[in-house]
Amino acid sequence: MVKVELKDGSKIEVKEGSSILEVAKQISEGLARNAMAGKVNGEVKDLRTEINADCKLEILTFDDEDGKKAYWHTTSHIMAQAIKRIYGDNVKLTIGPSISNGFYYDFDVEKPFSEDDLSKIEDEMKKIIKENLEITRYTLPKKEAIKLMEERKEPYKIELIEELPEGEEISFYAQGEFKELCAGPHILNTGSIKALKLLSSSSSYWRGDETKQTLQRIYGISFPKASMLEEYLNMLEEAKKRDHKKLGKELELFMIAPEGPGFPFFLPKGMALRNVLEDFWRKKHVLNGYQEVKTPIMLNEELWHRSGHWDHYKDNMYTTKIDEQNFAVKPMNCPGGMLVYKNKMHSYRELPIRMGELGLVHRHEKSGELNGLFRVRCFTQDDAHIFCLPTQIESEIINLMQLINEVYSIFGFTYTIELSTRPENSMGSDEDWERAENALKKALEDQKMEYQINEGDGAFYGPKIDFHIKDCLGREWQCGTIQLDFQMPERFDLTYIGEDGEKHRPVMLHRVIFGSIERFIGILIEHFAGAFPTWLAPVQVKLLPIADSHKEYAQKLKDELEKREIRVEIDDRQEKIGYKIREAQLQKVPYMLVLGDKEVEANAVGVRSRKDGDIGQMSLDKFIEKITEEIKKLEK
């Protein structure tokens, strides 16, 4: 017998050699029916995996992220099997992973897939599901694995196998006649897929390399219940209506010109929105003890070697030569922050030093990956670099979590937290990494914050806490991050004078809340569907004079509202008032003030709200009091 510790901390004894599925059955038949995979000592495993030693075990269902991945990965194999049945050797298989929402598979095929093709493939997938094929795992020596793929005429699979170490057993999964090179995990049979939809197809490149073979990628989604699929498709339809690229154009917020792919232009209304966000950021940071700095957009190449960024980012950096010296446009603000700190000697009495920067950075992204404001080549990070004593680490992390919570709450965002640990290509000693990870864990646990471990996804210089905000459609966006760094202070020889009069090394925290101003604006556009809260709206009030005789009064009101720092426009076109109201509603302006003879005589305004419709007539002073109070309430 072996001892198994479950997720809730309880322990059970199971027969040695029991599979994860058998352990699930021992716990509950219902759990076994819903099981997708297992996690043994933190490592995701197939349900077929045997338990041969004492361990910690978590049974993963579709409610767990890794459970979803196993489910979606299995569905990608069903899609590949369906395509091979339809097209035979005319299509070559490459890879088909699960992604954050569903799965995709890349195929080498003569022509792009049409909508009719997707429908035909989906029908064949449903037949495979109905066949309820058992999915089995087996391994082959490297030579036999290559031979199998040669027989099946799969050159891309052969390439992948040839790169694996000699002597390694190669893992395959089989379902019916279909055999696929794969590490897994997968669910037990094809019949467990209850609802699926192929969503779209596009071109891609083998291994993401533009110089390699062009492939055709099919995206799809699947669920254990038809109602979940229906709900997801409804969400996608709503997301289309909220597409920030579409609304950004309609609301005249930003543009992307063909002369600058990946380099967004902010239009006047977009700049109004952006300025409000940045002013809000500055106020919050002044209240929390930050000093604002600005570092250069370009620094010499040696700096990036010193910081370690050259080894990790050089392929995404823009470079140039000045006075025969190599320079790089900054892909991030951190090294500049180091130089600011080094500008003078610091005492322990000054720490923590909190420096904030709205810093413009540039990174080269592939043209096929550019996406509105979500993936651009230049963006502004709301960076902060905090230099503190080792004894101040936990309190500073707690302060940062409280600030991040405060900011996200104002926008109506909830969030989940991940602790990302040491990646493979990291800098620094095991002791530094253990100390840094433990400090982050302690801060989270002391604040009773729920979090997931994201193994191996930390920054190359330190572990991090990532904040994934949820929008009104339930979609997650990784925005905020807190990174603990022992490496940069070492590389830049940062010091402070301690109580003992000697030099000591400060600890550094990197932090963003918005992440990128551009991307955060894109998220806000979709979250609010362009109908921003009054304090954030680019135009807060639209004045609608009914006739030319009311234009002078409209101008007078505009001047008065602008004195109160209310953003206002006049629609003085010679159009009917109903048309003007509809236009203002389409522009999602929070308040429309209708101005006619009655309003001019009473020195009043006819108020229409985007949310509540016709509110009626009120004095200008009362309206100003109403909107000012609303702005202050939401901005706090």
Active site residues: 334, 363, 381, 383, 385, 464, 510
CA distance 320 to 328: 6
The DSSP element (H or E) to which 585 belongs, if any, is helix 577-586
According to DSSP, the β-strands at 50-51 and 43-45 are: unpaired
Indicate the DSSP class of residue 458: S
CA distance 97 to 183: 11
According to DSSP, the β-strands at 291-292 and 353-362 are: parallel
CA distance 545 to 574: 9
The DSSP element (H or E) to which 602 belongs, if any, is helix 597-602
- Type of residue at 404: I
According to DSSP, the β-strands at 452-454 and 568-570 are: unpaired
Nearest alpha-carbon partner for 550 in 579, 575, 572, 582:
572
The DSSP element (H or E) to which 91 belongs, if any, is strand 91-93
Are the beta carbons of 541 and 571 closer than 8 angstroms?
no
- 3-state SS assignment for residue 501: coil
CA distance 347 to 309: 28
Q: At what angle do helices 517-528 and 268-287 cross, to 10 degrees?
A: 110
Helices (H), 351-474: 393-410, 430-446
Structure tokens at 88: 């035979």
CA distance 330 to 598: 59
CA distance 193 to 126: 9
DSSP strands (E only) in 446-553? 452-454, 464-470, 476-485, 496-497, 503-504, 507-512, 541-545
CA distance 392 to 223: 46
Are the beta carbons of 544 and 573 closer than 8 angstroms?
no
CB-facing half-sphere around the CA of 575: CA atoms within 13 A? 13
According to DSSP, the β-strands at 541-545 and 291-292 are: unpaired
> Helix/strand/coil (H, E, C) string of 301-369?
HHHHHHHCHHHHHHHHCCEEEECCEEEEECCCCHHHHHHHHHCCCCEHHHCCEEEEEEEEEECCCCHHH
- 3-state SS assignment for residue 113: coil
